[in-house]
Amino acid sequence: MDFIDPHIHMAARTTDDFHRMARAGCAAVAEPAFWMGYDRSGTNSFYDYFRQLTEWEPKRAAPYGIRHHAWMGLNAKEADDVGFAREVIAVLPEFLDRPTVLGIGEIGLNKNTKGEVESLLMLIDLALSRGEVMLFHTPHLADKYPGTRMILDILRAEPRVEPARVCIDHCEEHTVRLALEEGYWAGITLYPTTKATPERAVDMVELYGPDRILVNSSADWGPSDPLAVPEFMAAMRRRGHAPEVIRQVVYDNPNAFCGQSRSWKVDVRG
């Protein structure tokens, strides 16, 4: 069964991972701009990273039959310095116009600071002024619940937001309902240690149903698994879920969410 990984950081992975993902049925990936494990020293570092995501990564994926897309944004971890954020945000429109870019992401909160919120408001305004689809990162561990609430409050106060064009990512048991109830897509990240295991993701699908749920590996430079979505598929099969339900979560849902972007392409395979 084919799958789509709607949130993965291939820039931090090897080409062998593309090979293994293709063998496992990966048809397309979406790569949000994020923190590469170190703080960048200037706007040019972001500029080169955005070029990497839009010029080099699609070419690296293509020989494996995987369509590579990117989300452009400024991650929350580097958004606390509002002056710096303003400079980075100024270069985003050039990249948002590129042919494989889906929209603005991942943006959101990390430590839920005033500076992060100010930068986030600028990013949301840029997205809404251009009619972009948005992908939100929610904070880690103890900051997750309050940070998710803050993001949802910000979005609720903005009448231009269309919830169907927004994904609230890295949801866990205590936040997934909040996102779904307000009409957003809810992303569940499958990590070997933090975030959700495949089994916990299956629990959430069983509790809330498969509609508007996306599962992703968020595989990056840390402990993570680019084959986490196939692991979720195996866990769904073990729990007796029908192939149509599994396919909805790992293919139809990401295809529908990302398909709202003019740039989304996935090859129909035999």
SS3 of residue 213 by DSSP? strand
Cα-based torsion angle of the residue sequence 120, 173, 133, 83 in order, rounded to the nearest 10 degrees? 10
Q: Which residue has the tokens 């972001």?
A: 46
CA distance 47 to 219: 22
Q: Which stretch binds Zn ion (CB under 5 A): 31-39, 94-102, 119-127, 230-238?
A: 31-39
Q: Which stretch binds Zn ion (CB under 5 A): 37-45, 140-148, 179-187, 212-220?
A: 212-220
Helical (H) or strand (E) element with 212 = none
Min dist CB 19 to Zn ion, Å, is: 22
Please, which residues have CB within 8 angstroms of residue 134's CB and are 6 or more apart in sequence? 103, 104, 105, 107, 124, 127, 165, 166, 167
Binding to Zn ion by residue 264, rule CB under 5 A?
Answer: no
Q: Which stretch binds Zn ion (CB under 5 A): 115-123, 192-200, 217-225, 261-269?
A: 217-225
Residue among 80 and 247 whose Cβ is closer to Zn ion: 80
Min dist CB 37 to Zn ion, Å, is: 12
Binding to Zn ion by residue 189, rule CB under 5 A?
Answer: no
Binding to Zn ion by residue 218, rule CB under 5 A?
Answer: yes
- The two structure tokens encoding residue 84: 């710096």
CA geometry: angle 157, 189, 168, nearest 5 deg:
10
Min dist CB 34 to Zn ion, Å, is: 5
Residue among 33 and 124 whose Cβ is closer to Zn ion: 33
Size of the site for Zn ion (CB under 5 A): 2
Min dist CB 157 to Zn ion, Å, is: 25
Residues between 49 and 78 that touch Zn ion (CB under 5 A)? none
Residue among 148 and 218 whose Cβ is closer to Zn ion: 218
**Which neighbouring-strand residues pair with 22?**
none
Binding to Zn ion by residue 34, rule CB under 5 A?
Answer: yes
Binding to Zn ion by residue 251, rule CB under 5 A?
Answer: no
Whats the size of the chain, residue-wise? 270
Report yes or no: 204 and 176 within 8 Å, Cβ to Cβ.
yes
Nearest CA to 46 out of 77, 69, 18 is that of 77
Residue among 112 and 218 whose Cβ is closer to Zn ion: 218
Q: Which stretch binds Zn ion (CB under 5 A): 60-68, 114-122, 211-219, 234-242?
A: 211-219
Residues at the contact surface with Zn ion, assessed by CB under 5 A: 34, 218
